[in-house]
Structure 1
């Protein structure tokens, strides 16, 4: 990846690995915007966009990009629980083809605005043809993930483990359905990092050293 040219860094991560925080801190260090599922969800909700309407937004709809900037200013606490499915949700029925198409178009549009860091399930696939793209996977052991979710979400060990298993299934089904690959296939990434025994800041430093 060339830092002196427009770039996009995509981060896929396991729930409880700290990958979303890593993405935000990395973007701050690089001085570029950080986009995640929460922002994309907010954009879809606010604008009630169809896939065709999103196609027409690329660089031409000032109100859309002004809203992007406004949402970004709300800070990292916005919709912090967005990744958690509701009780009773079926992991393979949370996303429609139309929603996926909208997410894809929004991701492509955001990446065309300039350098950025994107945390999301399919960013590695959607932006795989970007000429200056670094794809990262952040993983962690189950004990590490359970402890972090317990701490962050105020859950019992049983609740945290059940949530992780449910989200893992949901995300893997989603990726497999729309990309025909596995999110765990390391061939989809240039850099794979284990979060065990590392702070988010240490992981960011590892990524910055890799970039050079």
Structure 2
């Protein structure tokens, strides 16, 4: 069973490339199913799970990335402010997410987008870890074109999402998601066409022992 993790900066088409790779490899694309499964296991609402998810629009990464600007947010054992009451600490959601990823990888394989997959599945035999990245300028232009928004709006989307996703990995794993040592394959999907990126990842996944 093939296992591929994809870490994608905003504007690199991770949500397009991921499902296409999964289809080619004949394994599940695992993204939105994770917070749903975690919510069911914990007996909380999907909205509560999404607050802690690094891929969600208003996920925990956004709070972490803005921590230095929010005087009510501190770390090191001190309670954090979150909009609304949280029944469980963020670490509990992250732990359950990790377990869900590992169990799914063992049971069915899959293509896992985000959520520090390269770190969570670092020891999984035969897993391929991929990073989709490109200079911010190209990602901004691609976001503006695909989302039909202004360049200024695209810049904010890219910067906010990059900061949030990086904060999630740095806070919970003490790692830099841009570190190339975490991956076997780093691809610039703003200059290499999406279909070619899919082909590269599939070939690499099938070659990994």
Per the TM superposition, whether the score is higher than 0.5 is yes
Cα distance change of structure 1 residues 149 and 130 upon mapping to structure 2, 3 Å threshold: same
2:142 and 2:190 in contact (8 A); partners too: no
Alignment size in residue pairs:
172
1:17 and 1:144 in contact (8 A); partners too: no
Which of 76, 80, 84 is 2:57 aligned to? 84
2:141 matched residue in structure 1: 147
Could you tell me the TM-score, scaled by structure 2's length? 0.74
1: CA distance, partners of 2:104 / 2:203: 25
1: CA distance, partners of 2:91 / 2:145: 34
SS in 1 for 2:107: coil
Could you tell me the TM-score, scaled by structure 1's length? 0.73
1:85 and 1:167 in contact (8 A); partners too: no
Alignment deviations for residues 150-178 of structure 1 (CA, whole Å, 9 cap, x no partner)? 23434221111112111111111110111
Verify: 1:171 aligned to 2:144, yes or no: no
1:185 matched residue in structure 2: 179
Which of 10, 19, 26 is 1:31 aligned to? 26
Verify: 1:103 aligned to 2:70, yes or no: no
RMSD after superposition: 2.2
1: CA distance, partners of 2:99 / 2:146: 31
Runs of 4+ residues deviating >6 angstroms: none
1:118 matched residue in structure 2: 112
1:68 matched residue in structure 2: none
2: CA distance, partners of 1:174 / 1:198: 28
Cα distance change of structure 1 residues 83 and 154 upon mapping to structure 2, 3 Å threshold: farther
2: CA distance, partners of 1:119 / 1:108: 13
Deviates more, 1:8-17 or 1:150-159: 150-159
2:17 matched residue in structure 1: 22
Verify: 1:208 aligned to 2:202, yes or no: yes
Unaligned runs of 5+ in 2: 44-54, 68-81, 83-88
Alignment deviations for residues 72-122 of structure 1 (CA, whole Å, 9 cap, x no partner)? xxxxxxxxxx64348xx5344688112211211111111111221111131
2:3 and 2:110 in contact (8 A); partners too: yes
1:91 and 1:166 in contact (8 A); partners too: no
Cα distance change of structure 1 residues 139 and 178 upon mapping to structure 2, 3 Å threshold: same
